[in-house]
Amino acid sequence: MDNATTEPHATEHKPRILARVFYNKSKLHWCVALSLKVIAAAIGILLVLTHFNSPAIPVLVFGLAVFSEFVQWRSDVNKGCAESLTRKIEYHNGFNWNIADKDVRDNLLKVSAKTRKYVAGSIEENYFASQREVSPKRAIENLRESAWWSSHLTGTMIWFASITLAVLLLVSLVTLIYAIGAISDKDALASTSRVVTATLSLLLSLGFFKLISGYTGFKLKLEQVEQSCANALKSNTLTEVEALRLLHEYHLARASAPLIPDIVWKMRKETLNELWSQYPRD
C-alpha cells in the first residue's frame, strides 16, 4: 500500500479520497462514542467517591448513554459507505470495472460542500504496489497486499487492546484486594468496592472483550485469505470467479471487523511499506 504515485481517475471527485473521508468520519464517531461511555462511567465513579447526590445526574448519564449510541450508529453508517466505495475501487483496480457515476454522486450528497471541494482538489494516490495488467491475478495481488497489511495492523490492535484490558483489570483487582485488607471503615470499603465494580462494568460497556475477539477473528481470517491468495497466484488457470470468491470472503470479514485507528497505520506504515517493497513475493 505504497502511497508514492498517483492514479488518475475519470471523475472530478476521487472515489478513494471520498472513501477515506467516510472512514475518517466513522473512526471519529467511534472514538466519540467510546469517550461518552467513559465520561458516563467516570461520573458514576465520582458520585461514589464524593457521595454527591442530585436528581439531574441520572438524567445526564442517561443522555450520555443515548447520545453515545446515536454517535455509534453514525459511525456504522459512515463505515458502510466507506466499505461500499472501497469494494468498487478494488474491483476497478483489479478488473477495470467502471465505478458508476451514481455511486459517486449519491455518496457526495452525504457530505458537505466543503468536503466535496476537498475531495475534488485532492490527489488520488496509487493504493496498491502491483504492476500487473488488470486481470484476476492483479486483483489477487492487490488482495494479498491488503490482507497482509490489515493482518499486521490488526495484530497491533490486539496487543494494544489486550494490554489496556489487562492493566485496567489488574488495577481494579489490586485496589479491591488492598481495600479489603487495609480499610477497616465499612463505608469506605463499600465505596471502594463500588468504584471497582463500576470500573469493571466500564470495561464491559466499552466492549473490550468483544473488541479483542473481533480483532482476533479478523486476523485469523486475513491469514487464511493471504494463504489462499498465495496459492491462487501460483495457478495458471485462475479465473475471475475464483478471484471474486476470495475478494468476497475478505470483504465480508472486513465489514464486520472493528475499526483500526489511523494512529496505528501511521505508526507502522513506513516499516510495512519498506518490507512489502523489498519482499513482495512469497
How much is the pTM? 0.80
Burial of 256 (0-12, 13-18, 19+ CB in 10 A): exposed
Q: Which pLDDT band, with edges at 50, 70 and 90, does 58 fall under?
A: confident
Q: What's residue 4's pLDDT?
A: 39
d(CA 69, CA 145): 34
- 161-210 pLDDT, tens digit each: 898 888 877 776 776 666 565 555 666 656 666 666 666 666 666 677 88
Digit-coded pLDDT (tens) for 228-255: 999 999 988 899 999 999 999 999 999 9
Sign of torsion over alpha carbons 45, 49, 51, 53: negative
* pLDDT band at residue 62 under the 50/70/90 scheme: confident
User: CA torsion angle for 178, 182, 184, 187 (degrees, to 10)?
Assistant: -30
Cell 485496589 appears where? 175
Judge contact between 262 and 223, C-beta under 8 A.
no
CA dihedral (208, 212, 213, 217) in degrees, to 10, reads: 150
Q: Kind and range of the H or E element at 244?
A: helix 240-256
> Alpha-carbon distance 125 to 123, whole Å?
6
Eight-class DSSP state of 1: -
- Amino acid identity of residue 96, one-letter, is N
Among 16-20, 82-86, 200-204, 252-256, the minimum mean pLDDT is found in 200-204
At 30, which amino acid appears?
W
Give the 3-state secondary structure of residue 70: helix
CA separation for the pair 254, 14 (Å, rounded): 22
The CA angle 260-266-271, to the nearest 5 degrees, is 110
CB atoms within 10 A of CB 277: 11
The DSSP 8-state label assigned to residue 172 in this structure reads H
Total count of residues recorded for the chain: 282
List CB contacts of 189: < 8 A, sequence separation 6 or more: 179, 180, 183
Mean predicted lDDT score pLDDT of the chain: 83
More confident site: 41 or 214: 214
